[in-house]
Homo-oligomer: A and B are copies of this chain.
Amino acid sequence: MRDEFRAELQTVGQLLVDMAEGIRAAMRQATRALLTADRRAAEVVIARDAEIDGLYRDVEERVCELLARQAPVASDLRAVITALHVAADLERMGDLADHVAKTALRRHPSPAVPAELRPIFTDMAEIADRMAGKIGSVLADPDADLAAELDRDDDAMDDLHRSLFGVLLDDAWPYGVETAIDATLLGRFYERFADHAVNAGEHVVYLVTGETV
């Protein structure tokens, strides 16, 4: 029974790692679509979002089976519920990559992001990528320190988010309202991506240490 539980939980864990890799690849491609007006990259992200949603459903089904068959308690139960939370965060991160790709596609062949904002979005995307990578690592090998690092990454993301508004609200902003609206929403997508990464990290910390951050 115990070995069975471990094996089933490991399968769920592997699905989460697959999801984390999926959303990391999705946000990378979405950023490429955004910064290089790469139509094909945007289409790939949008098509593959269904795969990430499918993995989420798999996690849910397996968690339900696991609860029904093994009736775990204490820390085993905690691990199973944590897996549900992490999966929900990862699924939402996939949606946010999809939103970035759709914004790129809506403006194609024009770039959705003007030259002045590229450095900020390049940096935001780099942090998002780093955070997605850390979630993958922390899932494969739970490590509270690495999960806590996600908090610092999120602070850096928030700083970039603020500097984005600084550029948009500068009197010298030459691009008008439509580009400002796109940039506002794009900024929010990256920032929410980071928030969900922090949430997922906190759930893993809770799993490892039993303490809520």
Q: Which residues of A contact B (CB under 8 A)?
A: 60, 63-64, 67-68, 71, 73-74, 77-78, 81, 84, 88, 165, 168-169, 173, 176-178, 180-181, 184-185, 188
Contact = CB atoms under 8 A, between A and B. Distances in A.
B188 A165 contact: no
Contact of A184 (B64, B67, B84, B185): B185
Copies in the complex: 2
A130 B184 CA distance: 28
28 contacts: A60-B81, A63-B81, A64-B77, A64-B78, A64-B81, A67-B67, A67-B71, A67-B77, A68-B74, A71-B71, A81-B84, A88-B88, A165-B181, A168-B177, A168-B181, A169-B178, A173-B177, A176-B177, A177-B177, A177-B180, A180-B180, A180-B181, A181-B181, A181-B184, A184-B184, A184-B185, A185-B188, A188-B188
Contacts of A81: 60, 63-64, 67, 84
